[in-house]
């Protein structure tokens, strides 16, 4: 399992539960928030208590759970003020249709709705309901009102529902809520910038069942796509074959070969302000892949392949008349400084990020060396997401100056 990053360290989160079958997922969410360093204070509505007990939530968070505005455990007897004081965000998961309606009209008839009305911190809600309830004009009107009031809606998504139906209204998964919350707190260093990335290996066919590829896992490129999205950018990720999940909010275009990657990049690059080439692109492809599976025949010679060079995506983008800010990557096995600076010059990119292939490929953590015209700086060692956030900050700083 990937290492957990404490990217909510020092954050104090009020986790509000309202009445819905998805309330059981909040138990898992409470754990995940704490693993990421957050302090979690749970507040439940009476309806939520029909689905999951306060005891469960208390045991998971180690904090007393509050359910009533008349709770005498709060010293000032003003739970709605005391609990939200010092909170960095209120997160309502799940948010029922009824609770959204209350929020939209500013009702304050129980502890959680009063807390939301009296807050001076951001409010994020994850709707969860049956598709008819979500699709009802009243709920849609409430959702729009909440957005207009600055409330962040996380989801919902479409899928199987507890009632047996399939449709929109299903709550996003706890890990997705967590990803959204973590992103919410990241500095918006690339707000509204368009970022195009390549990631992963490419796959060059030999015949319908065989091909040439490399050991790139795609992890660094995917971490960068996530970090750019967290920083407020609109992100397109052109990805070779990987087993990785697409980060939330990132538009992924799947490709296999270097030529397909080149075509996908060229079709979108004119809109991009930043291009980051992280993919390990095959330098050559087989001139004529066989249309049929190549068979080994007794006594017949081993096949000999003729190779053609693939287009250099990064160099082509950097040579455009009005190029985006280009960042290249180089995984080298030796002479990293010399090879990386030489690559930066040949490909004419302002920034080239080097790492040692033996440290980088497939690993969850490594070190990055950033080369520019002034020299080199080292980022890390750290996990890839932390490195990606640091690199995004380096890029943002260069773009703004």
d(CA 191, CA 267): 23
Using the minimum distance from each CB to ligand CTP, give the nearer residue, 180 or 394.
Answer: 394
d(CA 153, CA 148): 11
* Position 343 contacts ligand CTP (CB under 6 A): yes
Q: Where are the beta strands (DSSP E) in 231-364?
A: 234-239, 251-254, 274-277, 284-286, 307-309, 325-332, 351-356
Geometric angle at alpha carbon 97, from 164 and 123, rounded to 5°: 125
* Position 203 contacts ligand CTP (CB under 6 A): no
Using the minimum distance from each CB to ligand CTP, give the nearer residue, 26 or 355.
Answer: 355
Q: Which residues are catalytic?
A: 163
Q: How many CB atoms lie within 10 A of CB 69?
A: 20
Using the minimum distance from each CB to ligand CTP, give the nearer residue, 149 or 283.
Answer: 283
* Position 310 contacts ligand CTP (CB under 6 A): yes
CB 211, min distance to ligand CTP, A: 16
* Position 48 contacts ligand CTP (CB under 6 A): no
* Position 220 contacts ligand CTP (CB under 6 A): no
CB 214, min distance to ligand CTP, A: 9
The β-bridge partners of 369 are 354, 378
- Smallest CA-to-CA distance from 217 within 189, 192, 248, 239 is with 239
Residues 245 to 264 in contact with ligand CTP, rule: CB under 6 A: 258
Listed in sequence order, the residues at least 6 apart from 37 whose beta carbon sits closer than 8 Å to its beta carbon are 6, 7, 8, 9, 10, 11
- Diameter over CA atoms, the chain: 91
* Position 351 contacts ligand CTP (CB under 6 A): no
CB 262, min distance to ligand CTP, A: 7
Using the minimum distance from each CB to ligand CTP, give the nearer residue, 330 or 385.
Answer: 330
Residue 176, CB-side half-sphere exposure with 13 Å CA sphere: 20
* Position 337 contacts ligand CTP (CB under 6 A): no
CB 277, min distance to ligand CTP, A: 3
Binding site for ligand CTP (CB under 6 A): 198, 258, 277, 279, 281, 283, 310, 312-314, 328-330, 343
């Amino acid at each position: 399992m990937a290492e957990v990053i404490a990217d909510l360290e020092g954050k104090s989160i009020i986790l509000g539960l309202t009445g819905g079958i998805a309330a059981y997922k909040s138990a898992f969410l409470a754990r995940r928030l704490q693993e990421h360093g957050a302090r979690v204070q749970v507040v439940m509505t009476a309806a939520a208590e029909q689905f999951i007990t306060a005891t469960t939530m208390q045991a998971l968070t180690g904090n007393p759970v509050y359910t009533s505005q008349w709770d005498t455990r709060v010293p000032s007897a003003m739970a709605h003020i005391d609990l939200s004081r010092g909170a960095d965000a209120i997160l309502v998961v799940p948010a029922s249709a009824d609770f959204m309606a209350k929020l939209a009209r500013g009702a304050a008839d129980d502890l959680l709705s009063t807390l939301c009305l009296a807050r001076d911190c951001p409010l994020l809600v994850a709707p969860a309901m049956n598709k008819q309830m979500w699709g009802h004009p009243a709920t849609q009107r409430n959702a729009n009102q909440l957005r207009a009031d600055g409330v962040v809606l996380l989801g919902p998504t479409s899928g199987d529902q507890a009632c047996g139906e399939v449709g929109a209204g299903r709550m996003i998964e706890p890990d997705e809520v967590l990803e959204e919350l973590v992103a919410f707190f990241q500095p918006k260093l690339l707000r509204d910038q368009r970022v195009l990335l390549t990631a992963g290996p490419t796959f060059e066919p030999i015949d319908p069942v065989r091909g040439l590829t490399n050991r790139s896992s795609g992890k660094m490129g995917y971490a960068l796509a996530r970090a750019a999205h967290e920083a407020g950018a609109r992100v397109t990720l052109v990805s070779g074959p990987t087993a990785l999940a697409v980060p939330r909010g990132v538009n992924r275009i799947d490709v296999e070969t270097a030529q397909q990657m080149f075509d996908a990049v060229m079709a979108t690059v004119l809109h991009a302000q930043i291009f980051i080439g992280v993919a390990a692109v095959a330098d050559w492809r087989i001139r004529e892949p066989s249309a049929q599976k190549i068979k080994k025949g007794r006594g017949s010679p081993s096949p000999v392949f003729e190779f053609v060079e693939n287009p250099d995506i990064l160099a082509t983008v950097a040579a455009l008349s009005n190029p985006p800010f280009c960042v290249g990557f180089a995984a080298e096995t030796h002479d990293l400084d010399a090879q990386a600076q030489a690559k930066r010059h040949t490909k004419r990119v302002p920034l080239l990020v080097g790492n040692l292939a033996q440290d980088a490929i497939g690993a969850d953590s490594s070190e990055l060396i950033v080369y520019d015209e002034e020299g080199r700086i080292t980022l890390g060692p750290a996990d890839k997401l932390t490195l990606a956030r640091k690199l995004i900050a380096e890029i943002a700083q260069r773009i703004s100056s």
